[in-house]
Amino acid sequence: MPKADLTLNKDPITQFQSWFQDAIQTGMKYPDAMTLATASAKGAPSARTVLYKGMNKEGLKFFTNYNSRKSKELRANPRAAVLFYWPQLNRQIRIEGRIKKLSSQESDEYWLTRPSESRINAAASPQSSQISSRAILLKRVKDLLLKFGATNIPRPKHWGGYCLIPNKFEFWVEGQFRLHDRFQYRKQKGKWQQVRLAP
């Protein structure tokens, strides 16, 4: 027999935060991992996993190298989609929206919370650029350590954050024999409208 309808919050952001806390409480590795999909100006898609780093008043935050492929695509086509999949909970969430660059202050604040090793490696790596060997990266790390020390690496201008400002959410719960539950929220005239989708 099909199970009774799920009860979801009328606000998808509140619902997202509730499910995200559930994922954290499972003890799984990387509950904050999300697949980020972008597209070039010509519509060629690409996807990769990044880490969700909380919300501000507009949407979901993540951080990256501004010279990376994802950033170049976001400059050309400032829209994106993300996917959270938590198999331990039999749940996934899809979110779509437009992209906005975070302020330097927000990027600086997050940079200072990162482990020093992560700061050094982020500053040293010319992300997405072709390199001839790993030795080049190790030398860049060594040079930065000599210049700034292990704990004083400044945030490079080419590294910082983005915000995904959502206009669509989809909450998915795995059902028996593919009879899944899917609920979509769309923002219309400033208000969220919820509908059920067929699996």
What whole-number distance in Å separates Cα of residue 82 and Cα of residue 50?
9
69 assigned to active site:
no
**By the 8 A CB rule, do 91 and 174 touch?**
yes
Phi, psi for 147 (deg, rounded to 5): -80, -45
Q: How far, in whole angstroms, is CA 130 from its chain's centroid?
A: 24
What whole-number distance in Å separates Cα of residue 93 and Cα of residue 59?
15
Reported as type and span, the H/E element at residue 99 is strand 91-101
**By the 8 A CB rule, do 158 and 65 touch?**
yes
SS3 of residue 34 by DSSP = strand
Q: Which of 98, 119, 178, 182 is catalytic?
A: 178
Q: What is the DSSP letter of 2?
A: P
**By the 8 A CB rule, do 185 and 167 touch?**
no
The percent helix, strand, coil of the chain (3-state, each to 5) is 30, 35, 35
> Catalytic residues, which ones?
178
